[in-house]
Structure 1
Amino acid sequence: MTKLWGGRFTKTAAEWVDAFGASIPFDQELVFEDIEGSKAHARMLGTCGILTEEETNKILQGLQSIQKKVEKGEVEFSIALEDIHMNIEKLLIDEIGPIGGKLHTARSRNDQVATDMHLYLKKKVKMIIEAIEEMQQALLHQAEQHVETIMPGYTHLQRAQPISFAHHLMAYFWMLERDKGRLKDSLKRIDYSPLGAGALAGTTFPIDRSFTAAELGFTNIYENSMDAVSDRDFIVEFLSHASLLMMHLSRLAEEFILWSSQEYHFIELDDTFATGSSIMPQKKNPDMAELIRGKTGRVYGHLFSLLTVLKGLPLAYNKDMQEDKEGMFDTVATVTGCLKIFTGMIVTMKVNHMNMEQATKQDFSNATELADYLASKGIPFRKAHELVGKLVLLCLQKGCYLTDLTLAEFQKASPLIDEDIYNILSPYEAVKRRNSDGGTGFQQVRKQIEKAKKLLHPNL
């Protein structure tokens, strides 16, 4: 097949060379963005008098016809035509004749593909933000049900202090809120139109770049044509934000994996989000959570890959930049899928609140309560810390917990300890009393839940 750009060539590439250089196997993902950009470009050419009204209408009708055929699955793309742009242009020429070749006036594939990716990412980032909000809503719903569900809080994966299960879940709500904020902010950089920048130097035709920007819903145009076609910062930024988001999902996935194990048995995942073993009939594996944890590395890889591709490129466009798309497409699909799966896991999980509460009664996570109690009696906290440490040692030697000690044993350590210590050491009371701003106290947890609800539903 003769290339649309092949006028100065005397040889054609072998099929395997064409296949190596072609991007159509993956950039066909941009087909509707490419058609949308082409429609805007055609309307601009007509408005500026570069195309006649008849030519403009014919091109727009041809593009609309191609779009309908693509939607019906009636179009096969050709590797020989390299990419989505040349495939659409060839389809247009076949549809309406040589006039279709006028569509490429005053533009290059360089500004065309950049425009396609801006359009694509603008749409997909908004979809991901919506998916994040659905997961936040699921976390919020579970948190509302479990404000007074007590569980062990951990540091270094060792039991540290009792906390509200809702408080733990809400920590991830706020992580996702920051992820959402970063993605929303990135839309400012995505919202730029490169269309009309040409290959790198602009064009001699009297085009109106602001017209096409407005037609495509962009707020801004790139001020420098070389920057317009070579900028992939907006994709790097998206991949960076996606990596942070996946890191947060991976951390929660790890907790779900631990909590659903027999050793913890704090939650049970719905059968929909678990699998069995081919050899061990009793197994219920948290495979979906494990996959999310594993797919995090995949997204990280796409970020590092694009940074590496771009790090030594001179201006303006280079064929290396063809490698910017697959990672972007895969990240969008991966992040969207992980958010949907996680939302389902959260909504359907069973919380074993009795097991959580029981776990707080079989450890020393209430030791800080005793230290705070002594400090409130006037003992310097460092001294109180030492006294409590010795009481914990006594318990370890006796094979019991702090609440099992007699009042006489407490008072031997410090006569300031009174009978109210048993209420103070209650895990429920320990959680309830932590009412500093942002703390795990029930009042504070309800306060952050209300604030979170207003963020998700500002009009309620």
Structure 2
Amino acid sequence: MTESGSKKLWGGRFAEGTAASVETFTASIQYDSRLYKYDIAGSKAHAAMLADQGILSSSELEAIVTGLTEIGREIDAGSFEFKPELEDIHMNIEKELVDRIGPAGAKLHSARSRNDQVALDFKMYLREQCSRIIELLDGVNRAFVTLAREYLGHIMPGYTHMQRAQPVQIAHHMLAYYEMFTRDKSRMVDCRKRMNLSPLGCAALAGTGLPIDREQVAEALDFDGVTANSMDTAGDRDFAIEFTSN
């Protein structure tokens, strides 16, 4: 058994630590480490809002932003050591921040839960992936339009049931794919629009009693607005299912 289990956020009731093999098996850091830049961006925006609300002092905000920036640079450079016993990207960054700047790092998590934090990171990651796919689809469609113009008036056989059926223009064939990918783009645009509401501020389940400004954080992170229901938000992953179905 390891000794780290009793120090976990959820480990207070356990007499012994978690077996190392179980920690390795259940840790998500090998997957969610890719969320680091969104986690850091979200934390910076959250910290700025906490400072505006008087929950953090200006010196605490400066220390947090500086610490997060340094951690981000180390992850970019590949010199940051991720620890499986800390389970996920959120705790890896938070623990390192607290180790570097002290109690101010722990105050960063005021009015926030890992539940709304991971939803934020996941949405920001998929939002960027949507934008990237939309850009790629635009490039593919430009290529099909170019080919259609180049071969305008040229004829090719059209097939049904793997048999030559009717003569068609090559341009007509190319623009069929243009229409297909245009629909794909439309689906991705709609998917991005639906997911682009900030979950931060919903906390673990039912929000927080601390004074916060959800709209400020949403605007800072380029969201169109905030989610309406904290219970829905805490468990919502249908935006990810919609993304994969597209």
Q: Structure 2 length normalisation: TM-score?
A: 0.94
Shift of 1:16: 0.9
Pairing of 1:112-123 with structure 2 (within 5 A)? 112-123=117-128
The whole-number CA distance in structure 1 between the counterparts of 2:33 and 2:78 is: 12
Aligned partner of 1:27 among 29, 32, 39 = 32
1:323-348 deviation line (CA, Å, top 9, x unaligned): xxxxxxxxxxxxxxxxxxxxxxxxxx
AA at the equivalent of 1:233: D
Q: Aligned to 2:54, what secondary structure does the other structure show?
A: coil
AA at the equivalent of 2:42: G
Determine if the alignment matches structure 1 residue 75 to structure 2 residue 83.
no
Q: RMSD value over aligned CA atoms? A: 1.2
AA at the equivalent of 1:9: F
AA at the equivalent of 2:185: K
AA at the equivalent of 1:162: P
Pairing of 1:45-444 with structure 2 (within 5 A)? 45-241=50-246
AA at the equivalent of 1:44: M
The whole-number CA distance in structure 1 between the counterparts of 2:62 and 2:151 is: 61
The whole-number CA distance in structure 1 between the counterparts of 2:58 and 2:41 is: 19
The whole-number CA distance in structure 2 between the counterparts of 1:213 and 1:138 is: 36
Alignment check: 8 A CA contact 1:77 1:87 kept: yes
Q: Aligned to 2:108, what secondary structure does the other structure show?
A: helix
Unaligned runs of 5+ in 1: 242-460
Matched with 1:442 is none
Q: Aligned to 2:200, what secondary structure does the other structure show?
A: coil
The whole-number CA distance in structure 2 between the counterparts of 1:102 and 1:9 is: 26
Shift of 1:196: 1.0
The whole-number CA distance in structure 2 between the counterparts of 1:214 and 1:151 is: 52
Shift of 1:99: 1.9
Shift of 1:34: 0.5
Alignment check: 8 A CA contact 1:191 1:218 kept: yes
AA at the equivalent of 1:72: A
Shift of 1:10: 2.4
Unaligned runs of 5+ in 2: none
The whole-number CA distance in structure 1 between the counterparts of 2:224 and 2:134 is: 20
Identity percentage over the alignment?
51
The whole-number CA distance in structure 1 between the counterparts of 2:79 and 2:70 is: 11
The whole-number CA distance in structure 1 between the counterparts of 2:176 and 2:110 is: 53
Shift of 1:198: 0.6
Shift of 1:98: 2.6
Alignment check: 8 A CA contact 1:78 1:87 kept: yes
AA at the equivalent of 2:78: G
1:283-334 deviation line (CA, Å, top 9, x unaligned): xxxxxxxxxxxxxxxxxxxxxxxxxxxxxxxxxxxxxxxxxxxxxxxxxxxx
Matched with 1:249 is none
The whole-number CA distance in structure 1 between the counterparts of 2:41 and 2:200 is: 12
AA at the equivalent of 2:231: M
1:91-119 deviation line (CA, Å, top 9, x unaligned): 10122123211111111111000000111
AA at the equivalent of 1:121: L
Matched with 2:20 is 15
Alignment check: 8 A CA contact 1:4 1:86 kept: no
1:11-67 deviation line (CA, Å, top 9, x unaligned): 210011111211001000101000011111111111111111111111111111111
Structure 1 pair 64–4 and aligned structure 2 pair: CA distance change class (3 A): farther
The whole-number CA distance in structure 2 between the counterparts of 1:65 and 1:4 is: 25
Shift of 1:4: 4.3
AA at the equivalent of 1:178: R
AA at the equivalent of 2:47: A
The whole-number CA distance in structure 2 between the counterparts of 1:202 and 1:9 is: 28
Q: Structure 1 length normalisation: TM-score?
A: 0.51
The whole-number CA distance in structure 2 between the counterparts of 1:98 and 1:206 is: 20
Q: Aligned to 1:117, what secondary structure does the other structure show?
A: helix
Q: Aligned to 1:152, what secondary structure does the other structure show?
A: strand
